[in-house]
Structure 1
Amino acid sequence: MFSNIALAYGFIYICLAMITAGIILLFCMKIKHNAALRKIEVYTAKHRDYFVYVQMHLHDDVKLQLPPGRLDRIEADVIQAKLMEWIEQLKGEAREKLLLLCREAGFVERDIRSLSSFRKGKRIEAAYRLGGMRASEAVPQLLKLLARTNYGPLAIIIARAIAKSADQPEQIRDMLLQLLASGKPIHALAADILLETRLDSASLLRRFLDDPEPGLVKVALVAMWGQAVPSAVPTLDRLVGSSEKDVRAEAVKLYLSSNPVLKDATIAQLMNDHEWEVRAACAQALGRLHAAGSIPLLAEALKDDNWHVRNYSAESLALLGEQGFETLCQAALHGTGPARETALYRIERIMAKEGNHEEVEQMVDFNKKKLLYDRYFGGAKPSKRIGKMAGVGGDYTA
């Protein structure tokens, strides 16, 4: 009995000692952190004149000098952080002068050594700074570090550093392959990282569109959104027929967004593709392309099993003038099931915009549709009439 009580007391004393040690450690860390912040403020003030000197001579034909005196670790970090901030904001000759200054100050060499640190946090910080300084000589080590890092925020930091620093297309390719090896659907993120490169992005995109690795092709297709790459259009024509589902879907979306002149056979082929993403992309584009000859195909697509295909088909029919709107009315009046509900929902959306048109052309177009609506549905208020026709007035959005 006595031994059990003694053991309990001993356990309590050990716990109290550990708690006390933890509190002391936290206070020490807080004190150290506050001291570092005070040093940063002091060094920022100390080098204010040097920062003004650098800014004044960024665009002059002079070589920037290193800061005077010997720098301790925190002092060097303050100067490095300011230079990296300007590197992100500037381009051209001014950026190159700042990059050269970072190398001459020894910042690049110091961070390359830190990549071999036993501390994970120190390695990641070094990778981030090397990317900010566009340190091409660090890319081989960064690729090795990425290979040892599981996919996550840390891997993304390293990948961005590689994209910013790489001076060879193969290095970008290796980085992307390592990211995609995680098996996660991160093509949009990988495309965003790809566009951080200093290399010619248009040339890289053309190169990856012809790559045998489907993941890289999809990354290039996603990256091409918003990018003007006219020379890639012939490759898009080929990729539209790719056997890879994701590649074909992305290629079709991008191809249709370039406002091509579509042949009837091409439209029919895309609207009957076995992947719903392709059918939906085509249905959405036909209204924007004003392909009036595709109205029968869009009317048939109102019966599609996929909601996205049905909805985009109805949306495009609404954009194809009186003939397209009349097709919607016929589907709402004589159709059945999902086709009827989708047409009713789109008609309701159109008729609810009465009085909301500022342009004369919009008002004329709406009045023509209103006449068609009155002819088919007897001029009743859209919401009441359509709700009555739908039977239960359900949700036509799904």
Structure 2
Amino acid sequence: MESHLTVAIYFIYGCLGLIGIGMLLLFWIRIRSIRMDKQKEVYSRKHQEYFRFIQAHLNGDGELPLPPGKLTQLERQVVQEKLIEWIEQFKGETRDKLADLCRRAGFVESDIKQLDSLLYGRRISAAYRLGGMRAAEAVPRMLLMLEKERYSPLTIVIARSIAKSAERGDQLKEMLNHLLRHGKPIHNMAADILMETKLDLSRLLLKLLDDENPDFVKVALVAMWGQAVPEVVPALDRLVGAEQKDVRTEAVKLYLSSNPVLEDDTIRELMADTNWEIRAAVAKSLGNIHAAGSISLLRAALRDPNWRVRNNSAASLAKLGEAGFEVLCQIAKNGSGVERETALDHVEKAMLEESEHQKLDQMIAYNKKKLLYERYFGSSGESKPVRQVAAVGGDYTA
């Protein structure tokens, strides 16, 4: 019994000793970090003249001068961080001159060597800095590093550095392949990384849209949002009929955002799609492009099982002048269930929104709708339509 107690006491002492060593180690790391920060401030002030000189000659001819004197390791780090900060801010020739300065100063070569470090943190930090310096010569080594890397948030750091530094489209495709091979739903993140490239984006997106890898197609579709790339519009026509549900959905949304002239057969086909997202996107676009000939389709879509499709259809009907607004009034007056609820909500919304218009054409349009409203529901002083909660189940999956 006493021997067991002795072992327990020694064990407790050992644990307390380890805790003490850990606390001392953390304290030492903190003190060291504070000391380094103070030393960095000293070096930053020391090289202010050099930094000002570089800023003043960024747009001049010739190479930028190297940092003066023999620098300590920490001084090199301070200068490198400042140059990377500027590289991220500038584009074109100015960025190239700063990247060339980093190369001649030996920063790129030093960080490429750090990619072989036994310490994982040093390898990741080096990859981050190499991307900041747009080090094209480091791309093959970083691609190999990304290939061996298991997926983690730090994988994004390597991929983004490759995108910033790559000088060929095949290097970007290889980066995307390594990044997406883990099967993670990170297509939006991959598209954001792809936008970091200095290569011609329109040509790159065309190649990705025509690729057999559906992941590449998804990334290209996401990357196209907010980008004016008219060259890729023909490829969207083909992808609208793609077999993959998510690819087809994104392609249809992008196609509709380009304000195309839709034929009646195309509209009917898209409004009958099994994917509710496509039906909702089409219903929304029909009001934006003022497709008055689609009123009957929008009228039928008010009975769609998906609430977003119903909502977008009602909103589009409200935009289609007197004819569309009268359909809403008719359903709000004589309809039933979810279609009546949706129509009634948008009738009231249209009357509230349009009553504040000041322009003459808007006031005329409002007065016409007001006459239709009063025809179905009476004047503003008479009884207004009574909202009844429909006891009809609807989906809430959107």
Do they fold alike, i.e. is TM over 0.5?
A: yes
Q: CA deviation at 1:397?
A: 11
Correspondence 1:137 to 2:142:
no
Partners of 2:354 and 2:321 in 1: CA distance: 16
Correspondence 1:214 to 2:198:
no
Partners of 2:105 and 2:127 in 1: CA distance: 18
Please give the root-mean-square deviation of Cα atoms over the aligned residues, in Å.
Answer: 2.1
Cα separation, partners in 2 of 1:117 and 1:41, compared to 1, 3 Å: same
Contact 1:345 1:396 in 2 (8 A): no
Contact 1:345 1:397 in 2 (8 A): no
Correspondence 1:327 to 2:307:
no
Contact 1:288 1:319 in 2 (8 A): yes
Q: Residue in 2 aligned with 1:390? A: 388
Listed one character per residue, the Cα deviations across residues 13-37 of structure 1 (whole Å, up to 9, x for unaligned) are 2122112211211121112111111
Partners of 1:71 and 1:81 in 2: CA distance: 14
Contact 2:305 2:395 in 1 (8 A): no
Aligned residue runs from structure 1 range 342-353, under 5 A = 342-353=342-353
Q: CA deviation at 1:381?
A: 7.6
Partners of 1:264 and 1:12 in 2: CA distance: 81
Aligned residue runs from structure 1 range 368-379, under 5 A = 368-379=368-379
Correspondence 1:267 to 2:258:
no
Partners of 2:271 and 2:363 in 1: CA distance: 32
Contact 1:114 1:122 in 2 (8 A): yes
Listed one character per residue, the Cα deviations across residues 54-78 of structure 1 (whole Å, up to 9, x for unaligned) are 1111111121111112222211110
Cα separation, partners in 2 of 1:269 and 1:153, compared to 1, 3 Å: same
Aligned residue runs from structure 1 range 1-398, under 5 A = 1-353=1-353, 355-379=355-379, 385-386=384-385, 388-391=386-389
List gaps (5 residues or longer) in structure 2.
none
Secondary structure at the residue paired with 2:67?
Answer: coil
* 2:364 maps to amino acid: V
* 1:100 maps to amino acid: D
Partners of 1:267 and 1:347 in 2: CA distance: 25
Listed one character per residue, the Cα deviations across residues 60-111 of structure 1 (whole Å, up to 9, x for unaligned) are 1121111112222211110011001111111121111111100011111111
Listed one character per residue, the Cα deviations across residues 123-171 of structure 1 (whole Å, up to 9, x for unaligned) are 1111111111111111112112222333332111111111101111111
Contact 2:268 2:297 in 1 (8 A): yes
* 1:65 maps to amino acid: P
Q: CA deviation at 1:356?
A: 2.8
Partners of 1:244 and 1:23 in 2: CA distance: 55
Secondary structure at the residue paired with 1:6?
Answer: helix
Partners of 1:243 and 1:226 in 2: CA distance: 25
Partners of 1:385 and 1:115 in 2: CA distance: 73
Cα separation, partners in 2 of 1:354 and 1:211, compared to 1, 3 Å: closer
Partners of 1:148 and 1:381 in 2: CA distance: 74
Partners of 1:309 and 1:211 in 2: CA distance: 32
Partners of 1:358 and 1:298 in 2: CA distance: 29
* 1:362 maps to amino acid: Q
Partners of 1:2 and 1:222 in 2: CA distance: 70
Partners of 2:148 and 2:281 in 1: CA distance: 39
Partners of 1:391 and 1:198 in 2: CA distance: 56
Partners of 1:235 and 1:381 in 2: CA distance: 56
Q: CA deviation at 1:6?
A: 2.1
Cα separation, partners in 2 of 1:392 and 1:249, compared to 1, 3 Å: closer
Partners of 1:395 and 1:320 in 2: CA distance: 28
Q: CA deviation at 1:378?
A: 2.1
Contact 2:338 2:390 in 1 (8 A): no
Secondary structure at the residue paired with 1:279?
Answer: helix
Q: Calculate the TM-score normalised by the size of structure 2.
A: 0.94
Q: CA deviation at 1:308?
A: 1.5
How many residues are matched?
Answer: 396
Partners of 1:131 and 1:162 in 2: CA distance: 6
Q: CA deviation at 1:8?
A: 2.9
Contact 1:301 1:310 in 2 (8 A): yes
Contact 1:286 1:294 in 2 (8 A): yes
Does 315-324 or 3-12 show the bigger shift?
3-12
Contact 2:303 2:339 in 1 (8 A): yes
* 1:315 maps to amino acid: A
Q: CA deviation at 1:185?
A: 2.4
Q: Calculate the TM-score normalised by the size of structure 1.
A: 0.94
Partners of 1:314 and 1:140 in 2: CA distance: 54
* 2:141 maps to amino acid: Q
Listed one character per residue, the Cα deviations across residues 229-249 of structure 1 (whole Å, up to 9, x for unaligned) are 112121111111112211111
Cα separation, partners in 2 of 1:354 and 1:272, compared to 1, 3 Å: closer
Listed one character per residue, the Cα deviations across residues 236-263 of structure 1 (whole Å, up to 9, x for unaligned) are 1111111221111111111111111111
* 1:259 maps to amino acid: N
Contact 1:342 1:397 in 2 (8 A): no
